[in-house]
Structure 1
Amino acid sequence: MTVIENVIGRVAVLRGGRYSVEVDVLTSSGFGRFAAPIDENPALYIAEAHRAVSEVDEIIGPELIGFDASEQELIDSYLWEIDGTENFSHIGANTALAVSVAVAKAAASVKKMPLYSYLGGTFTTELPVPILEVAGGDAFEYYVMVRDLMEITDVIDALNKVLEHAEGNTVEAFSNATEKATDELGLDIALGLVQKQPLETEEVLSIVEDNNVAYIKPMGDEELFLELIAGTHEVFVDGEYLFREKDILDRRYYNALSIKPINLGTLTDLYNLVNDAKSERITPILSEARYESSDEALAHIAVGLRCPAMVFRRDSIAKLNELIRIAEDLGERGRIITFEG
């Protein structure tokens, strides 16, 4: 049965020593658990985590008992109703996400289905391209991606080769390393950049044009994004900054969008944004938050929602391994999504 019988909250520890709320959802024959990540605001101290647990145990849990866990959209809508604000400022987006994902995992467990198949349906066979963090610098964070990925593990081989050949912590050093790694492994390996501080438009354009860059997440105004879209070819321009700061969702400015579930609140909100991006011909990229647990659900969500790419941090071994397991589970039916700009 998928009727919710109990909802339990507890304090969880994330990487980086941050605290968050973990939620268990129980039915008579199913169980789901999820610990919510934290993104830009790392100041969720133990007192705030305990407050979130109280919200789950005293308010949210009692309200959800008796709901059918398979009615995801209804439950997610009710979480907004319980909160009563426009941005989950009462119960918190992290608490809402923990409950929402735990509900989905409980329903999937009743049906004895992997979460990705439960979310995406029978014909879910597509795997996202991993974009893997390699290092951080003053102006950029550096990532590695493989354009002609055949196996998920190809990105690990690429990462190791890039680290082996990188002679410094600069764009040029990592760009040269990707080219050497390409020659040695026979893979089309490229560099990803996440801008950390404002730079002049011409400088950003020059960096992208003069180096082996396939993905960039810029920081700046609309002009920078327009120039990057117009002046680059087959480069993924990630519009997270414009979307977050100015609520712009428009293919004219960018062709990819990093989406962090913690910034939305529920699985239904995540599903809607992924579909909105696709309708604008923008590639949705499911991205980790800065502080996460080792829970494997993010890989399942990316596959279930057919996101063409995922951004992983260097220490995200559990999620990357789960993506490998999903690929094994799909077998010959599985294929890696073509990640085209």
Structure 2
Amino acid sequence: MSVIQNVIGRVVVLRGGKYSVEVDVVTDDGFGRFASPIEESPLLHIAEARRAVSEVDEIIGPELIGFDAVEQELIDSYLWEIDGTDDLSHIGANTALAVSVAIAKAAASSRDLSLYSYIGGTFTTELPVPMLTFARDENFEYHLIVRDLLEVTDIIDAISKILESSSGLSLEDLSRASEEVGMELGLEVALGITMKKEMDIESVLSLVEDNNIAYIKPIGKPELFLELIAGTHGVFIDGEYLFRTKNILDRRYYNALSIKPINLGTLTDLYNFVNDVKAEKITPILAEAKYEPADETLPHIALGLRCPAMLIDWNSVEKINELNRIAEELGERGRIITFEE
């Protein structure tokens, strides 16, 4: 049985010394735990984390006792009812996500399943490509992509060699090093960049054309995205900025979208949004928030929701190691997707 017996909240520390809420869900014969990440402008005070714990212990938990943990959609819908707002502003999106994911993990545990199998089913065998953020400067965040990844650890080897062989941390230096390392390792290695400030359209197009770039997350007006889609081939154009500022979800403007679970609410909300993105023929990329727990859950969610890629920091070793464990568990059944547009 997977009937919920207890729901417990506690304060946890995230990467960067920020505070959030962690939730334990106990069923008859299962257990789930999840600490929620937080985004760019979090409520940093421990008092806010303690308030979230009180919401879990005094309001949400008692309401959920007796529910069957496998009824994910029903429980997630009820979380919205408990909140009573249209944006989870009462209990908080981070609290709702922590409860929702902990419930899914408890349900998976009660069935003796891995979380990715519980979410995605028997035929969930395509591993997301890890896109690792490994360097930053005043203009860009730099990500590494190995399009034809054979093993999860290949990308770590590639990053280490790039940082050793690059003469600097400019786009040109890293681009040159990525091509050289790709040839040395016999892999198709490319860069991804996230823009930190706006640039004119011609400059952005030149950056992509002149460097070994397979992915770009632009900042700018819709016209920039249209020009990038029209003027590039085989490059993923991430529309997170356009979706966040203009609410545009349209393949004509971009062909990829990084999705942070904390911005959606519950696991059901995340599932529905990923499907909406796929329906637009846009590639969903599951992404870390700015402040993350030391937690292995994100690879399971990415695999379970069949997201082709996962954008994380290369210091998120618990997620990288878990993806490697999943690959080992799947064995010959598992394969890493060739990440191509």
Alignment deviations for residues 222-268 of structure 1 (CA, whole Å, 9 cap, x no partner): 10000000000100000011111111111000000000000011110
Alignment deviations for residues 66-111 of structure 1 (CA, whole Å, 9 cap, x no partner): 1110000011111111111111111110000000000000000000
Deviates more, 1:95-104 or 1:146-155: 146-155
Q: Give the length in aligned residue pairs.
A: 341
Q: Give the gaps of 5 or more residues in structure 1.
A: none
Q: What does 1:1-341 correspond to in 2, within 5 Å?
A: 1-341=1-341
Alignment deviations for residues 41-67 of structure 1 (CA, whole Å, 9 cap, x no partner): 133210100000011011111111111
Q: How far 1:338 moved relative to its partner?
A: 2.9
Q: How far 1:314 moved relative to its partner?
A: 2.4
Distance 2:221 2:155 in 1: 32
Distance 2:298 2:222 in 1: 30
RMSD: 0.8
The residue identity in structure 1 corresponding to 2:166 is A
Distance 1:321 1:260 in 2: 20
Distance 1:157 1:54 in 2: 44
Distance 2:92 2:161 in 1: 41
Distance 2:303 2:247 in 1: 26
Deviates more, 1:42-51 or 1:267-276: 42-51
Identity, in percent, stands at 72
Distance 1:66 1:200 in 2: 57
The residue identity in structure 2 corresponding to 1:233 is H
Alignment deviations for residues 203-223 of structure 1 (CA, whole Å, 9 cap, x no partner): 111111110000000011110
The residue identity in structure 2 corresponding to 1:149 is L
Instruction: Note if contact 2:149-2:338 (Cα within 8 Å) is conserved in structure 1.
Output: no
List structure 1 runs of 4+ shifted beyond 6 angstroms.
none
Distance 1:104 1:222 in 2: 38
Alignment deviations for residues 174-208 of structure 1 (CA, whole Å, 9 cap, x no partner): 10110110121111100000111111111111111
Secondary structure class of the residue paired with 1:290: coil
The residue identity in structure 2 corresponding to 1:204 is V
Distance 1:38 1:326 in 2: 25
Secondary structure class of the residue paired with 2:97: helix
Distance 1:141 1:221 in 2: 20
Give TM-score, length-normalised by structure 1.
0.99
Give TM-score, length-normalised by structure 2.
0.99
